[in-house]
Amino acid sequence: MNLPNKLTVARIAMTALMVLFLLLNGPVWAWLAAAMYIAASLTDFFDGRIARSRGLITNFGKFMDPLADKILNYSVMIVLIPERLIPPVALVVILFREFVVSGIRLSAAEQGRVVAANIWGKLKTLVQDLSLVAILILRAVDVAWLEALAAALLWVCVGLTVISGGVYVWQNRDVLRDAD
């Protein structure tokens, strides 16, 4: 297993540890969960960069890297819903977009096409990561301005989720039209 794939697997393992930290109460556990999320998010940045720069792109990585990202982000969101830090409607919108985009990508793959990430999806991911970091830190320090920032970032993420999903559908309508 090459280094980028090891980083992807490590991200999944870090997610499990981070969920454990999220389920434990207290500021120390909250800080550890935030640190683990940041570390896991950085593995996503580095595994892709290393794979592309060293020609280490594999089928395993193509499949598992985006799956590891989803496992990381949606695990955090699901665990934080009971704490009222993630509104359920926000998660539903985000998951709806993910299922639609994944469906388009699967259909495109069956047609021998590749649906690449676009700037809207990348921007959505960046804002999503920032909002989750802010929310995780908010669990450790109860600061009004951070609460406002975290909420604003999350709703900007939801807006970008809708926009990026619409852009993916529009740009790939031929994939949907040609699907069997």
- What is the predicted pLDDT for the residue at 54? 94
C-alpha span between 157 and 77 (Å, rounded) = 13
107 Cβ contact partners less than 8 Å away, ≥ 6 residues apart: 175, 176, 179
CA-based nearest residue to 14, from 34, 40, 32 = 40
Residue by residue, pLDDT tens for the chain (180 residues) are 999 999 999 999 999 999 999 999 899 999 999 999 999 999 988 998 999 999 998 888 888 998 999 999 999 999 999 999 999 999 999 999 999 999 998 898 888 888 878 899 999 999 999 999 999 999 999 899 999 999 999 999 999 999 999 999 999 999 888 776
Greatest alpha-carbon pair distance for the chain in Å reads 53
CA 125 vs CA 27, 50, 73, 122, 159: distances in Å? 26, 19, 10, 5, 12
Helix or strand holding residue 121 (H, E): helix 119-140
- pTM (two decimals): 0.91
